């Protein structure tokens, strides 16, 4: 691996890059929620509205949040370091050691960076990866699971890489098929994004899958950018993490985590990246000039959150109870299966006319707002869209609201 270009060179290259292709790509990759508003805004809801569209946790925030901020409120008057507080990195390192079966402990000083949530971290990682990897054999590519979280493709396009969409369908267990990756594609790959548990399908990659992906990354010299922000929401077994498969040196791997889902703190905007220390050093150089700093009082909240598991288990139990409702109310309709992780339903509505038709019907007749799977995916080379026959339902409301929404859904879709 070669060291990233000096930051002033990266800045100059960004300033001199042509803007028109990026603008066109961004227009083609509009937010799924912008597209959803266009689909529904002129249609009145048939019943009092219930939003099951946005994956925003609705559980009460942990009780320690307010007191911790109050105790450190004076730190809002200081600029924080972009690397993060040493106690924050130490708390993350200890949590990773407890949560995963690692061959060695994570080094907080060199293998952990604070993030302002995972979105900006995942986005900027593609830009840093493009400068960090050795020259690629052809047009640089970033591999993206399809469907996917929008920040992945946005990062690929901003890094002037070709986003290559890997279908994650029922046939491949709702994860990209590693057997389908050809050597010529891997030779020009800069990074692979992987979400496990996946958004929207809730699939979890097992140890063998992750180990194989890490081996491909090391053989071909690319990075694995592992989005694990749903890792603490599961019904049975804790999902395996990419760091477990990449130990002991974590080479070519970075895991991204957030408190948004784990601790029901989406507005806190605190997360972290952990993994390959060589890449993280170059990534920090970029972040020092391009990334938002994380206020120190918010890092203090994160320190408390990563040191306390009671609120996490309480959250997990609440999600188990809402999925129990889905088991009872939906049953075997729409290809429903209880996901291994995360808090989304991924329902097959091909028989109801596909994702947009079902979304319209649910809003117009029942006032239930969901996201068309087509908007969460891109067309493949053959013209197919892996999300076209699905809707995503976010199970983030309380039990009473969730039960009402699911009963309405079944009444409309049949």
Lowest mean pLDDT, pick from 15-19, 26-30, 348-352: 15-19
Lowest mean pLDDT, pick from 5-19, 76-90, 261-275: 5-19
> What's the mean per-residue pLDDT of the chain?
93
Residue 28 has pLDDT above 60, yes or no: no
pLDDT, mean of residues 205-214: 98
Domain 65-308 in CATH 3.40.605.10? The answer is no
Check if the beta carbon of residue 385 is closer than 8 Å to that of residue 338: no
Same fold for the domain at 7-60+311-413 and the one at 65-308? no
pLDDT in tens, 142-170: 999 999 999 999 999 999 999 999 999 99
pLDDT in tens, 88-115: 999 999 999 999 989 999 999 999 999 9
Residue 237 has pLDDT above 90, yes or no: yes
* 30: confidence class by pLDDT, cuts 50, 70, 90: confident
Instruction: Please spell the DSSP secondary structure of 58-98, one letter per residue.
Output: -SPPPTTHHHHHHHTGGGGGSPPPTT--HHHHHHHHHHHHH
Check if the beta carbon of residue 270 is closer than 8 Å to that of residue 116: yes
Quick one: CATH architecture of 7-60+311-413? Answer: Alpha-Beta Complex (3.90)
Residue 25 has pLDDT above 60, yes or no: no
Query: Would strands 271-275 and 112-115 be described as parallel, antiparallel, or unpaired?
Result: antiparallel
Domain range list for the chain: 7-60+311-413, 65-308
CA 404 vs CA 229, 320, 352, 412: distances in Å: 28, 17, 20, 13
Measured distance CA(75)–CA(79) in Å, rounded = 8
Query: Would strands 390-394 and 371-372 be described as parallel, antiparallel, or unpaired?
Result: antiparallel
What pLDDT was estimated at residue 166? Answer: 98
pLDDT, mean of residues 32-46: 96
Check if the beta carbon of residue 272 is closer than 8 Å to that of residue 257: yes
């Amino acid at each position: 691996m070669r060291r990233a270009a000096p930051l002033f060179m990266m800045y100059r290259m960004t300033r001199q890059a042509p803007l028109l292709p990026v603008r066109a790509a961004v227009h083609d990759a509009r937010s799924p929620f912008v597209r959803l508003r266009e689909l529904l805004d002129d249609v009145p809801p048939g019943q009092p509205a219930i939003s099951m569209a946005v994956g925003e946790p609705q559980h009460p925030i942990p009780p320690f949040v307010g007191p911790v901020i109050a105790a450190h409120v004076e730190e809002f008057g200081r600029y924080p370091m972009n690397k993060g507080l040493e106690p924050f990195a130490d708390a993350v390192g200890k949590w990773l050691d407890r949560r995963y079966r690692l061959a060695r402990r994570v080094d907080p000083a060199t293998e952990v960076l604070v993030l302002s949530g995972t979105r900006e971290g995942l986005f900027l990682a593609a830009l840093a990866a493009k400068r960090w990897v050795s020259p690629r054999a052809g047009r640089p590519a970033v591999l993206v699971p399809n469907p996917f979280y929008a920040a992945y493709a946005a990062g690929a396009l901003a890094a002037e890489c070709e986003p290559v969409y890997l279908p994650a369908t029922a046939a491949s267990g709702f994860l990209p098929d590693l057997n389908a990756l050809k050597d010529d594609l891997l030779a020009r790959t800069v990074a692979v994004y992987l979400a496990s548990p996946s958004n929207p399908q809730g699939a979890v990659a097992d140890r063998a899958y992750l180990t194989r992906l890490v081996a491909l990354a090391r053989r071909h010299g690319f990075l694995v950018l592992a989005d694990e922000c749903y890792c603490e929401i599961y019904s049975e077994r804790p999902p395996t993490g990419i760091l477990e498969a990449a130990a002991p040196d974590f080479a070519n791997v970075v895991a991204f985590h957030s408190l948004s889902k784990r601790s029901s703190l989406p507005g806190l905007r605190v997360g972290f990246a952990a993994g390959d220390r060589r890449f993280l050093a170059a990534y920090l150089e970029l972040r020092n000039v391009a990334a938002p700093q994380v206020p120190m009082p918010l890092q203090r909240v994160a320190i408390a959150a990563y040191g306390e598991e009671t609120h996490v288990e309480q959250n997990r139990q609440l999600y188990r109870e809402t999925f129990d409702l889905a088991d009872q109310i939906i049953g075997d309709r729409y290809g429903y299966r209880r996901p291994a992780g995360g808090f989304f339903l991924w329902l097959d509505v091909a028989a109801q006319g596909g994702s947009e038709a079902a979304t319209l019907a649910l809003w117009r007749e029942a006032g239930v707002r969901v996201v068309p799977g087509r908007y969460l995916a891109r067309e493949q080379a053959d013209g197919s869209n892996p999300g076209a026959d699905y809707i995503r339902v976010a199970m983030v409301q309380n039990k009473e609201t969730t039960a009402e929404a699911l009963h309405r859904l079944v009444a409309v879709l049949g």
